[in-house]
Chain A
Amino acid sequence: MTPIQITYPNMMVILPEVVLSCWVFFMMMADLFIPKEKKEINAVLGLIGLAVTAVSVFMVLSYGDISSFNDSMRSDRFALFFKLLFIITAALAILISAKYIAIEGVNWGEYYSILLFSVVGMMVLVSATDLVTVYLGMEFMALSIYVLTGFIRHDVRSNEAALKYFLLGAFSSGLILYGMVLLYGVTGSTNVYKIANFLAANDNYSNPLMIASVILLISGFAFKIAAVPFHMWAPDAYEGAPTSITAFMSVGPKAASFAALLRVFLVALPVMKPHWVAIFWGVSAISMVVGNVVAVAQTNIKRMLAYSGIGHAGYILMGVIAGTRMGVASVLLYMLVYIFMSIGAFSVIILLRKTGVKGDEIKDFSGFARRYPSLGLCMLIFLISLIGLPPTAGFIGKLYLFAAAVEAEYYYLAVIGVLMSVVSLFYYMQVAKTMYIDEEIEGQELVPSRALTFVVYFCAAATLLIGMFPDGFISAAMAAVLPI
């Protein structure tokens, strides 16, 4: 074993992480001086922090692809693309939270700090090029999310969700670690590039240890992206968590995990591709089927969206399986698209949250669009986008995913995907039907929050915008593709 070379690290690589971390520490201290009834100031501070971080991301962008910390962290367009996604996601999540957590009675400053800490974890995760930093980022992200899931301390459902998520998350971390350990055992390194070099030079294709390692890594990642059969936590966690956090975790951690998954499998393990493609194929297919079919039976809209999210994980995996530039670009593009339609949909759910009423049952939407036509229209846009119909962003995203799968000749997978999109039409339209056709019900009042309505309109606009003028976004995604 060669001794570890310690050189002065290039701090630019982790500049966004550093900036955001420092900002969060500042926020935590500032929180002490913010009176109880004005905790919204934290939200403003958080937004400012995210803006500063966004600036730092663009600064780093001009440095091109840089690695440091013994090649364990890498700042390239791929990572920066995701970091921007996280900033957008977190900003939207903060905007929809401010009023919501006050209604839930958990208006505490650390909410924002923990949320931003999880963003730091995600940023580490997407920059990680070493299994150790991958794990570090993943745990950092996950631990913050566990806390946020159980943030409504007095609500037994929230506690349950957090406990389940935590226990199963710990379990999946174990799986990932085993996979990493085996990988290290075979290749003698934890660095993704060194692993790739070793595997290219030494034939380990049929080494049972390598196969076990691949299976365990897939299991761990499949948990993070909530793919079948590692999805069991998602419906409970989505349902129990504060809705703003559900919105956040349906996008942020999922995107970060996909990024890490792409890096580990495409950069470190291209040699093993036939193995992991075979497994991912199965996971993808079964996720699309289970997610969409079970969603049909749900009456709780958060649960329904959880199952729909499982289905979406299956769709997105198609891009990973294709493994081409096109495939990776389609994953990136879909993550971008998914942010707006998912957070948008959850924002509408939060709009219906009032003290004493959860507003997360599908029947709570009865007549919603008739009473609030413009917001109803926004919700319709999100639903159509989630189904994947033009002229919305969801259509563009799915189009590229399916195209990548077809291009890489995974026809069956594409067929399953299309069929399941048809199934999803049924349950999404169920909601639309409830909104437009069912009788209005009493007490359907909105949360009086301009930030929240702004997010709804903004997301709807973004969904339509990407759907109608996708070129810029597609080329941004293509530019951020990992070098394969």
Chain B
Amino acid sequence: MINYAWLIPLFPTIAAIINGLFGRKYMRHHYSDYIATGAVMTSFLISLVIFFEVVSGSTLNVNYWDWIVSGDLHVSFGFLIDPLTAIMLLVVTGISSLVHLYSIGYMHDDDGYYRFFTYLSMFTVSMLILIMGNNYLLMFFGWEGVGLCSYLLIGFWFEKKSAGDAAKKAFVVNRVGDLGFVLGLFLLISQLGTLDYEQVFQLAPIHLTTGVATAITLLLFVGATAKSAQIPLYTWLPDAMEGPTPVSALIHAATMVTAGVYMVARSHVIYSMSPTTMEIVAVVGAITALFAATIAIAQNDIKRIVAYSTVSQLGYMFMGLGLGAYTAGVYHLFTHAFFKACLFLGCGSVIHALSGEQDIRRMGGLFPHIKLTAITFLIAALANAGIFPFAGFFSKDEILWAAFSGGHYVIWGIGATAAFCSAFYMFRLYFVAFTGESRVDHHVAHHIHESPSVMTGPLVLLAFLAATVGALALPPGNGFIHHFLGNVFGHHEHNVTGIAAEFFHKFSALVTGEPTAHGHLLEYFMMLVSLAIALSGIGLAYLMYYKKVEALNPEVLAVRFRLIYRAFLNKYWVDELYDFLFVNPIKRAGQGLWDFDGKIIDGTVNGVSRLTLIKGEITNFLDKYVVDGTVNGLAIFVDFKSRILRRTQTGDVQNYALVMLFGVVFVMGIYYFY
């Protein structure tokens, strides 16, 4: 089956083509969804089969055809399937299938039904090419493809200005990142003359100096910061929540935003060559994790909280990658995909139930009304908070352990603080929205209803996975996932032992008398520590929002710590800062040029044509252009000109140029066809 891997992107491609071309005219409703969902589910089944084949040891690296041949550069269209790709395939096709299914219910009454499914299929194809390609150019192809689909889907309801703005923002910010990515690719070409993974990873350790490797990896990482919403290019992701909620779940939580993580993991050979880049990746990841988590604490829009949570969790992934714990990073990607998709779809279900309400301050007491949604949401929230034995616990803990055992205590500290915040904001959301007294608007309160089973089905499935996929990492450091991904990352995994761990080992050796046999003891201890941190976060949320302990009244606290609260609430004013630094100056410059164009150039042209018109009337316009021209028969051009001039009033240079062009084309036509 692995040799038929090309079938995986083929099905969604066909679906996208059918829906895109014929959806509007021939499929009012309920055909485009069958086609798209069926296609992606077929892809999922194939991926599943391939996954098991990869588990049993087969891999695939095949070039189908030459894509670009230019001088010495040779880029093929080919696929690479190894454990890393296989696991990504599962995530992408799996989540995509569930989201397709969910969308059938969620987008039911939307006019752009066929359009939505076309975009979803297009997105799935692009994402599949991104992860399956066997060279960087194909990755970039997919990278741009998902960017485009993301843009289209964020702006899906383009009649809303905020949606259009958010789409533009996402697109522009991603352009900034793409510039870095492309420069990285150029550098690779100039240094190694190839973009093929196999060759690059073979040649890189031999031909690249550390400095060049740093440059390449940092440039690629710039691309990753945009695509995966890391500091400083994360600002587009929260705004991207303007898109339909299934899109947020699929693209802006589970799959596309992890493209950067995948890219770094895929390029681990080059990344491992540059300690500087690794350090930067880890630090950026850690800071993003904390930064976004603190912002999430003060937000009130249910989707925005989850969005900032996504940014924060992505930060964890990069933290893991930067620490050299590639397996842990990718594993967190894997678990995060499930619980975050579940959270977003849960949000969607809540919003659906409340007829579009997104503000958690106008929710409350939802649990009895939408039990299934609430329970699945709770499970996913526990996973996000990192509570044993839910999936998030294992993957997040492994990243923290990598930081601690590697001696990066500051990073560990930041990560642990962020973990506390994660638990807190997740359960703040849960307690405020699902428990307590209902603050729902009266009109809405009447018809709060559980979503149809086509929506809750995916929720239950995702919640189940969010609860259980942690088992793949058991026993810690030696589970299935470690062996599986170890095939890819192998010796590049970082295993430096920090002082504290050293000390602990010596200590335990002293106590037990055995030198290193109980190396895992510390790891178990640290697990308990992070569990305690997460629980205390939940506890605080419980006291503040469920028990409503007077000493911890959120409003009082918000007033007392006014500055901090306002910083969180206003997202540290980063958007305002960017507006001030980049957006407004560019807008002003554009406005300036526009004014110049409008006032001076158009003014001139309009003035001229108006003048010509007036003059034409005074000097007997008709006599000059039309009557005499027609009488003479040969003055057609003049007549033509006067008519154009009167109609458009924009001057008629284009018309002149057109006549010239006609002349050329006419003569050529005579020559070539006569």
Contacts and interface: CB of A to CB of B under 8 A. Distances in A.
Contacts of B474: none
Contact of A157 (B611, B641, B656, B668): B611
Given A229-B660, A232-B656, A294 B634 contact: yes
Contact of A172 (B604, B605, B629, B660): B660
Contacts of B641: 232
Interface in B650-674: 651, 653, 655-657, 659-660, 662-664, 666-668, 671-672
Contacts of A172: 660
A171 B635 contact: no
A425 interface: no
Interface of A: 156-157, 159-160, 163-164, 167-168, 171-172, 175, 208, 211-212, 215-216, 218-219, 222-223, 229-230, 232-233, 275, 279, 282, 289-290, 293-294, 296-299, 361
Nearest to B625: A297
Given A156-B611, A167-B657, A294 B629 contact: yes
B476 interface: no
Contact of B660 (A156, A208, A223, A282): A223
6 contacts: A160-B608, A168-B660, A229-B662, A279-B667, A293-B634, A297-B632
A233 B628 CA distance: 20
Nearest to A233: B656
Given A212-B668, A299-B624, A156 B629 contact: no
Given A215-B668, A294-B629, A296-B632, A171 B607 contact: no
A212 B665 CA distance: 10
Contacts of B660: 168, 171-172, 175, 219, 223, 229-230, 232
Contacts of B666: 229
Contact of A168 (B608, B653, B667, B671): B653
A163 B632 CA distance: 30
A168 B657 contact: yes
B55 interface: no
Contacts of A175: 660, 664
A297 B638 contact: yes
A219 B629 contact: no
A215 B664 contact: yes
B657 A216 contact: no
Given A159-B608, A219-B667, A232-B659, 5 more contacts: A216-B664, A230-B659, A232-B641, A299-B624, A361-B619
Nearest to B619: A299
Interface string B301-332: 00000000000000000000000000000000
A219 B651 contact: no
Contacts of B632: 293-294, 296-297
A223 B629 CA distance: 23
A156 B653 contact: no
Centre residue among A163, A216, A297 by max chain B CB count within 10 A:
A297
Closest 10 CB pairs of A and B: A297-B628, A232-B656, A229-B663, A160-B608, A293-B634, A219-B664, A167-B653, A294-B635, A164-B653, A293-B632
Nearest to B627: A297
A17 B664 CA distance: 34
A296 B638 CA distance: 12
Contacts of B655: 232
A230 B663 contact: yes
Given A211-B671, A215-B671, A229-B662, A290 B651 contact: no
Nearest to A170: B657
Contact of B656 (A159, A168, A216, A298): A168
A128 to B, nearest CB: 23
Interface in B600-632: 604-605, 607-608, 611, 619-620, 624-625, 628-629, 632
Contact of A160 (B637, B651, B656, B672): B651
Contacts of A297: 624-625, 628-629, 632, 635, 638
A140 B604 CA distance: 26
Nearest to B671: A211
Contacts of B657: 167-168, 171
A290 B667 contact: no
A279 B672 CA distance: 13
A163 B667 contact: no
Contacts of A160: 604-605, 608, 651
A465 B624 CA distance: 37
Contacts of A233: 656
Contact of B637 (A167, A212, A232): A232
A186 to B, nearest CB: 16
A299 B662 CA distance: 28
A212 B671 CA distance: 9
Contacts of B611: 156-157
A286 to B, nearest CB: 9
A163 B663 contact: no
A198 B655 CA distance: 39
A321 to B, nearest CB: 15
Nearest to B634: A293
Contacts of B668: 211-212, 215
Nearest to A223: B660
B637 A290 contact: yes
Contacts of A164: 651, 653, 656
Nearest to B615: A157
Given A233-B656, A290-B637, A208 B608 contact: no
A159 B611 CA distance: 13
Contacts of A222: 663
A140 to B, nearest CB: 22
Contact of B607 (A156, A218, A223, A282): A156
B212 to A, nearest CB: 32
Contacts of B656: 164, 168, 232-233
A233 B608 CA distance: 15
A168 B608 CA distance: 17
A107 B497 CA distance: 83
A296 B630 CA distance: 12
A294 B664 CA distance: 22
Contacts of B633: 293
Nearest to B607: A156
A229 B619 contact: no
A293 B663 contact: no
Contacts of A211: 668, 671-672
A127 B438 CA distance: 91
Centre residue among A164, A175, A229 by max chain B CB count within 10 A:
A229
A451 B637 CA distance: 39
Nearest to B635: A294
A157 B608 contact: yes
B365 to A, nearest CB: 69
A181 to B, nearest CB: 15
Nearest to B608: A160
B624 A163 contact: no
Given A293-B634, A297-B628, A299-B624, A229 B659 contact: yes
A212 B667 CA distance: 9
A320 B6 CA distance: 63
A208 B669 CA distance: 12
A419 to B, nearest CB: 13
B490 to A, nearest CB: 49
A258 to B, nearest CB: 19
A25 B671 CA distance: 48
A289 B624 CA distance: 18
Contacts of A229: 637, 659-660, 662-663, 666
Interface in B636-656: 637-638, 641, 651, 653, 655-656
A407 B560 CA distance: 105
A289 B664 CA distance: 19
Contacts of A298: 624
A440 to B, nearest CB: 21
Contacts of A232: 637, 641, 655-656, 659-660
A171 to B, nearest CB: 5
A164 B651 CA distance: 9
